[in-house]
Structure 1
């Protein structure tokens, strides 16, 4: 079942350097958060992963708790990697994370060295890998000293089980503190992974990109399409298989009339650009050159292809950005 990748896979994808590191990531990365667990057909997952790689998507973003159930996304990715793309492992960036609840008892959550090291060992076993390229602390832990958490990331990198250290859901103040500790240890902070979209602009108010630029780290965002709100999925009602129906992270309150008016207005702006709403939302999230990558989650090859089509037009006029700002409130 070995996959023969497309010869032109690197011709159209854009790659951006992560901060001051030597690592470049595709402008659009594939996240395996909710569509790659045991609740979805493995052959659909296989088709999406193969097509993504054929389109130059070299970065596959996972975490210990991705699925559902937790752990199953890593298992399924490991199966596809072993059967289809093993010969191309060195062309890929595979990332994983730990920081949310994963197993019972006091050692299966948060930010202790005990949890992070154990979780990564489990992740590597599930994926059939000797190392991941990037290992993240998934969320700040107010109870564990940051020195311990960053010390664990440093030890993991030095052990060879990860090539780079990252953090996720860290704000500007937390990034500066984490990066300073890692710098002293000799393992630079590679990247931060926050949430960000037209409807979720907290990173701008926080000055996160400025902080990341100061410390030499990159930025890769998740949920750039606001869990599907910034697509055409809900313009004509709520599909039964949509995130609103199937996810605990999005509910019908998010579709109240005022917000849907904004979605329609943004859709009109996208249409005038010759793009789908999703494409414009992704291009908008990438408008700052300090943004290393955006993570998409695809449930079909067609959705994947539409999203990557955003790269055909990443430029905005001042008038377009001003029009978007009227409706992109969050």
Structure 2
């Protein structure tokens, strides 16, 4: 491993933008299909991996939802999440806030309780095995209507004390944040933090809507904010966290090449930008690989990498005392490495 690689792997960091269904590696997809006797349109792991080629967000989502069909039991959700936590721990993740998409599962007859039982068992295991703190964020699917999101919020009621927030993901273009203003307000009333994918494929106007109509605590992606100087200034002034996913941006053609990625321009503009892996099984790398790849492509130095890690803790939903403890660990690592 290079000096950069070893520094990044050991760098304490929080992962704030990870879809647990997007950590379904081809090997696990095939194994779970066999275990659950689910037919998939692939004869081998190699065929699954070859299919992980995308031209845009929708072409990715098509295979993402098809792959999720192998997830049937609490054991499946546990195994999926536990495998992610092992990878994340090896990448220096000390705190994770992971998205899950209950509608992807309830719409095909999987009980909400099944999803939660499996994920919560894995969360408890990550704490015991890795000393990792983990929060769960329930995402609403924006290609469905708001009433469906309200129904999902109702299903979640027994587990609200185990959820830290809600998010909004899936097909962005044509599904603006405004479509979900009422359910986000209801989620806030229940004490949940609010996140929203905005400015990935959608325009800067969607970021404005997420701020002004949903009143979010965090913006997921947000790359296209850079097209609006006034929005950049607003985001910088408010210290709004942007959870940026470099390898995802390139895989989905939102950025042509990593060499063109705006992450360093975001930092230079005073934005609280962070780096995460989004759907790592599909996009070619977990969080440390995202750090390494964009650092090499954009010539980021150690100080910038430490800033990105620092921003991840500052942008987390951890209590202040736990953020302080994480930053102390980060500073100690940066000083001795």
The two structures have a TM-score, normalised by structure 1, of 0.50
The two structures have a TM-score, normalised by structure 2, of 0.49
- In terms of fraction of residues, the more helix-rich structure is 2
By relative contact order (CA 8 Å, sep 6+), the higher-ranking structure is 2
